[in-house]
Structure 1
Amino acid sequence: MKTTLTPAETEEKYQALLEGMSDGFAILETVQDSSGAIVDLIFREYNSAFKTETGLTPDGGSIREVLPYLDGMGVSDFGSTLETGETSSFRARLANTGERRVFRRFRLGGPGSTHIGLILERRTNRGPGSGLFEEGDALLHAMTEQSDLGVAFFDRNQKFTYANSAYHRMYGYKPGDMVGKRVEDLTVPEDWRRKRILLDRTLARGEPFSIDKRHTRPDGKLVWVRSSVGSQRDEHGNITGGAITSIDVTDLKIAELTRKDIEDRYKLLFNSIDHGFCVIEMVFGPQDEPLDYRFLEVNTSFEAQTGLKNAVGRTAREMLPELEDYWFEIYGRIAKTGIPERFEMPSEEMGAYYEVYAFRIGLAEAQQVGILFSNVIERVEAQNILRETEARFRQFGEASSDFMWIRNANTLEVEYLNPAFEIVHDISPPDLLADPGLGPWLEMIVPEDRQAIEESFESVREGKSVECVYCLVRRTDGQLRWVKSRHFPLIDSQGSVQRIGGIGRDITEERQTSNRLEVLVTELQHRTRNLLAVINAVAGRTIRRSKSLDEFREKFTARLDALERVNALLSRLGEGDRISFDLLLETELGSLGLDEFNPDASPNVVFKGPRGVRLRSGSVQTFALALHELMTNAVKYGALSRPEGELSVTWSVETEDNYSRLQVKWEERGAPREETCPEGTGYGRELIERALPYQLGAETSYDLQPDGLRCTIVMPISIS
């Protein structure tokens, strides 16, 4: 079981191992000039054996203090050790004794290290089979075991002679299992050919190399390993094998592949999108004001969106001298603040209207901005046309006396109401829009009409137009109002019904007028039938009582004139109006030219009774003929035919149990009829005594007294 040591424990273990070695060991740090060449090596650490063997205490001293004679080599030769990582041996004389001793040097750490390990072997010769890490190499072994860097050695047959724990973990083997395996065994076939060539050069000429290669571990996992390989030489300079330092770069390779994949996808997207895209570099003035920007990168759609060719490397002012200042201000702000902005803006210079998303790229110091944009001038123009159309529609809707509404075809929620809707329905658009569903509107409609309305919406959803007539109850005054409307589909560009429109009007007055017309037509038909019946009767009686055609013509014409007068009065009546008795009486007097007998001007004539007594329209024609006969006979034969004659017409109204009757008394004096009434006259009497009771339900009396006529008529009249 591996136990993790504290830093103090590790240091203690390291110092104990260092002091327990019989070989001298020291760590040197290279000193380099401005060109990177090694000009000296300084002792940083050494063990007791090194001090004993050299007889020196080289704390912080130069290597020249210990080894003034490097047998023709200079300190610069240590650079190959740092560069290749190879372990090599050399001979040099000690400063205190002049004795030539064998030293081995090796790089401490990976590439880029500036430290070298130096081993001074004991004077006692090492026998065969002593092992690579016996005594003097124990420190190197200990250091490699503590490192996360994979370290291994191999012989000229390319078989591993040693690998540290990190190297075993990296390749997925248990400690010790790699010794005896070939280097080829740790490389996938696709990478081995290249590595074999490099490895052969190392073993033949000592050429170091670095390589990234793949290996499939025993557990099946593929790992990437970055290895630095150098040769190993004996004390005679002969190549005996090689050394490998390795790190696991699997995560790095995956990241590189991922980054490359992202870059590839970015480039594909970059050049595939219809939107224009560019990267610009802002140009600021001495007062840090945005002056211009330079195009660093553009995609293939850039030219189509802007009309600009060969833009990379050129500035906006160069290509568009009259470009609006706000473009520079916006992009300059984004470059400074790093806050992305999405906006739409027109450009008169470019003849376009752009939808833009701009964002800073990298640090503020780079002053670069990425711009994703699209020329949406067609959409903007279409929106402007749509807004103008909507404005005209709203003006039309607000001016229209017909009400209009629009509802969503799916939810049936109302989306638009014009002012006329409130006038007809007695509910304001804001109130209805607060609860836009169909329910509040249906509640206003009388129950018996609701189903038809709901069915109309289903028909419109199917693309049909439907005309509806329904009755609603106004909320504030409770009035019943009749409404006629047409419901129709509003179809989108795909032919689907998206909305339902409605336009309608209040037809209550039209309906009432229509009803009145129906009543009037019915009344006209009734009166016409009555009139024809009256004319037929008058004609029959007149012809029977006429002695000649001329007499018939005279009497029949007079009686037709009487009917014409009363029908003229009827035609001028308003709805619900009636002809009054006094008006009928005055009209008959005027038709006979008897204005001089006006009761206001003649003391012999008395008309007395309440004004405005309304007669039933169905009885007026017959009653008017009766008055005409009484008036005509009075003028020809009665009280109005002589100066001393007197006429009194009085009337009153009797009401009992909501039943009203008009009582008319016609009295003549000073005109005996026997003397003046010719033979054959009697139509008026027959009309009064027979026609009025039969047709009008009247009670009549007709009495010729010696001094004049006494006639009484009692007939039903209208209550209101």
Structure 2
Amino acid sequence: MPALIDLGASIIIQDQNLNYLYLANLPEAWACGEISAPTDATLFGEEVAAKLTTVKSSMTESGKKGHIEVTVGSDQVFEFRVQAVQFEAGGIHLVTTIIDRSEERHRERLLRALLREVSHRSKNLLAIIQSIALQTARYSGSLDLFLHKFRGRLYSLSQSQDLITDSSWRGAYFYDLVRQQTEKYLPDNTHLVKVSGDNMLLTPNASLHLGLALHELIVNAVSHGSLLRGVRPVEVTCTRIHLDGHDWLEMHWHEKLSNRAGDDSTEDSLKAHFGSTVLERVVPASVNGKAKYIISNEEISYELRFPLDIGD
């Protein structure tokens, strides 16, 4: 018993008539000073006493056990464990230990909430992947081209998801998102992408889709745009603006092109190479925003606006 008390347990010993013979370390929730003839009802109240009586009434033989859980207030949970014990003198006695399970139950509730969150996030991610697969297949002329584009977009999602997970699902900061999406393609030339403006924390949904847009833009820049020549850095800005009574995020991606004189490529033919469906349709629709994508012989610019208070 001293060992149990040292561990924080409460001990009650009663005879078969439920007379209290020993009481130690009663939880503060029921501490009520000295009581000359304590009973379950006077200590714990009629409701708890009725549950204890039901458990104890069946304990007529040594070794029988039973337990109940009692919630006190909104967050305290106690477990009552009752056991019939044969004493050398006096016959069968009932030994009740009371253990505080509040922290354990709190962790269980938190785990259940986290599992629900994981399920929710997983379903959202699967829906995004399904949408990306559909759009990629629709605008890919061959299986090899589809696999090439689809793998790159999945990698982009996984990189953004890493940032979201590291932040306990709060989201990702804009600067981190740009850095993570560009460093794979410019490991030794990160200076070719200059980021400025507000380093805002984006929601998980916005992080995934903005990361996808950045992936498309950096791949295009490396494959077809200014970074292929390494002439001028790309400028990326992020700004919080107030529009129609709401806070919005406005992102600009700006590439100045040079040495394209004499290039007869039209905007439409260039866009065929530049993943415009993802940038102009998929991403803005997913964040309830608007996008403007301009390609000319002089520059490539992408502007994305979306409300910051959109539900995730």
Give the TM-score band, short-chain normalised. Answer: 0.7 to 0.9
Q: CA contact under 8 A between 1:412 and 1:438: conserved in structure 2?
A: no
5+ residue gaps, structure 1: 1-392, 444-449, 474-479
Instruction: Describe the superposition over 1:23-61 as per-residue Cα deviations: whole angstroms up to 9, x where unpaired.
Output: xxxxxxxxxxxxxxxxxxxxxxxxxxxxxxxxxxxxxxx
Q: CA contact under 8 A between 2:164 and 2:204: conserved in structure 1?
A: yes
CA 1:501–1:668 in 2, change beyond 3 Å: closer, same or farther?
Answer: same
Q: How do 1:43-122 residues align onto structure 2 when only pairs under 5 Å count?
A: none
CA distance in 1, matches of 2:244, 2:41: 50
CA 1:638–1:525 in 2, change beyond 3 Å: closer, same or farther?
Answer: same
Alignment equivalent of 2:55, drawn from 460, 464, 475: 460
Instruction: Describe the superposition over 1:87-107 as per-residue Cα deviations: whole angstroms up to 9, x where unpaired.
Output: xxxxxxxxxxxxxxxxxxxxx
1:664 maps to 2:265: no
5+ residue gaps, structure 2: 60-64
How far residue 538 of structure 1 moved from its aligned partner, in angstroms, is: 2.4
1:532 maps to 2:120: no
Q: CA contact under 8 A between 1:615 and 1:718: conserved in structure 2?
A: no
Q: Which amino acid aligns with 1:553?
A: L
CA 1:546–1:718 in 2, change beyond 3 Å: closer, same or farther?
Answer: same
- Greater RCO (Cα-Cα under 8 Å, separation 6 or more): 2
How far residue 491 of structure 1 moved from its aligned partner, in angstroms, is: 4.6
CA distance in 1, matches of 2:55, 2:244: 57
1:406 maps to 2:40: no
- SS in structure 2 of the partner of residue 434 of structure 1: coil
Instruction: Describe the superposition over 1:171-220 as per-residue Cα deviations: whole angstroms up to 9, x where unpaired.
Output: xxxxxxxxxxxxxxxxxxxxxxxxxxxxxxxxxxxxxxxxxxxxxxxxxx
How far residue 405 of structure 1 moved from its aligned partner, in angstroms, is: 2.1
Q: CA contact under 8 A between 1:650 and 1:666: conserved in structure 2?
A: yes
Instruction: Describe the superposition over 1:200-245 as per-residue Cα deviations: whole angstroms up to 9, x where unpaired.
Output: xxxxxxxxxxxxxxxxxxxxxxxxxxxxxxxxxxxxxxxxxxxxxx
The equivalent of 1:579 in structure 2 is 172
Q: How do 1:390-539 residues align onto structure 2 when only pairs under 5 Å count?
A: 393-394=1-2, 396-401=3-8, 403-408=9-14, 415-418=22-25, 425=28, 432-435=32-35, 436=38, 438=40, 441-442=43-44, 451=47, 453-464=48-59, 465-473=65-73, 480-492=74-86, 498-508=93-103, 510-539=104-133
Q: CA contact under 8 A between 1:662 and 1:717: conserved in structure 2?
A: yes
1:649 maps to 2:232: no
CA distance in 2, matches of 1:417, 1:674: 92
- SS in structure 2 of the partner of residue 487 of structure 1: strand
The equivalent of 1:560 in structure 2 is 154
CA distance in 2, matches of 1:643, 1:616: 33
Normalising by structure 2, we get a TM-score of 0.78
| Identical aligned residues as a percent | 22
Q: Which amino acid aligns with 2:182?
A: L
The equivalent of 2:181 in structure 1 is 588
Q: Which amino acid aligns with 1:567?
A: Q
Q: Which amino acid aligns with 2:177?
A: L
Instruction: Figure out how many residues of one structure are paired with residues of the other and give that number.
Output: 296
Q: CA contact under 8 A between 1:562 and 1:588: conserved in structure 2?
A: yes
CA distance in 2, matches of 1:544, 1:560: 16
How far residue 466 of structure 1 moved from its aligned partner, in angstroms, is: 3.8
CA distance in 1, matches of 2:229, 2:53: 84
Q: CA contact under 8 A between 1:459 and 1:466: conserved in structure 2?
A: no
CA distance in 1, matches of 2:299, 2:175: 23
How far residue 616 of structure 1 moved from its aligned partner, in angstroms, is: 1.7
The equivalent of 1:633 in structure 2 is 220
Q: Which amino acid aligns with 1:680?
A: A
- SS in structure 2 of the partner of residue 712 of structure 1: strand
CA distance in 2, matches of 1:512, 1:661: 37
Q: Which amino acid aligns with 1:405?
A: I
Alignment equivalent of 2:196, drawn from 608, 618, 627: 608
Q: CA contact under 8 A between 1:669 and 1:707: conserved in structure 2?
A: yes
How far residue 587 of structure 1 moved from its aligned partner, in angstroms, is: 0.6
How far residue 496 of structure 1 moved from its aligned partner, in angstroms, is: 6.9
CA 1:713–1:515 in 2, change beyond 3 Å: closer, same or farther?
Answer: farther
- SS in structure 2 of the partner of residue 667 of structure 1: strand
CA distance in 1, matches of 2:6, 2:264: 78
Q: CA contact under 8 A between 2:163 and 2:171: conserved in structure 1?
A: no
How far residue 658 of structure 1 moved from its aligned partner, in angstroms, is: 9.3
Instruction: Describe the superposition over 1:620-661 as per-residue Cα deviations: whole angstroms up to 9, x where unpaired.
Output: 323321111011112222232223334211112246899543
The equivalent of 1:545 in structure 2 is 139
How far residue 534 of structure 1 moved from its aligned partner, in angstroms, is: 2.5
How far residue 707 of structure 1 moved from its aligned partner, in angstroms, is: 1.6
Larger Rg: 1
CA 1:466–1:499 in 2, change beyond 3 Å: closer, same or farther?
Answer: closer
- SS in structure 1 of the partner of residue 189 of structure 2: helix
Q: Which amino acid aligns with 1:704?
A: I
- SS in structure 2 of the partner of residue 470 of structure 1: strand
CA 1:702–1:495 in 2, change beyond 3 Å: closer, same or farther?
Answer: farther
The equivalent of 1:64 in structure 2 is none
CA distance in 2, matches of 1:717, 1:702: 21
CA distance in 1, matches of 2:113, 2:245: 24
Q: CA contact under 8 A between 1:698 and 1:716: conserved in structure 2?
A: yes
Q: Which amino acid aligns with 2:7?
A: S
Q: CA RMSD in A?
A: 3.5
- SS in structure 1 of the partner of residue 152 of structure 2: helix
Q: How do 1:78-477 residues align onto structure 2 when only pairs under 5 Å count?
A: 393-394=1-2, 396-401=3-8, 403-408=9-14, 415-418=22-25, 425=28, 432-435=32-35, 436=38, 438=40, 441-442=43-44, 451=47, 453-464=48-59, 465-473=65-73
CA 1:650–1:432 in 2, change beyond 3 Å: closer, same or farther?
Answer: same
Instruction: Describe the superposition over 1:568-625 as per-residue Cα deviations: whole angstroms up to 9, x where unpaired.
Output: 3333333x63222221111111222345233xxx5xx4311233x2222234323321
Q: CA contact under 8 A between 2:84 and 2:95: conserved in structure 1?
A: yes
The equivalent of 2:282 in structure 1 is 691
How far residue 459 of structure 1 moved from its aligned partner, in angstroms, is: 1.4
Q: CA contact under 8 A between 1:456 and 1:487: conserved in structure 2?
A: no
CA distance in 1, matches of 2:92, 2:52: 11
- SS in structure 2 of the partner of residue 415 of structure 1: strand
CA distance in 1, matches of 2:280, 2:270: 20
CA 1:514–1:520 in 2, change beyond 3 Å: closer, same or farther?
Answer: same
The equivalent of 1:681 in structure 2 is 273
Q: CA contact under 8 A between 2:164 and 2:170: conserved in structure 1?
A: no
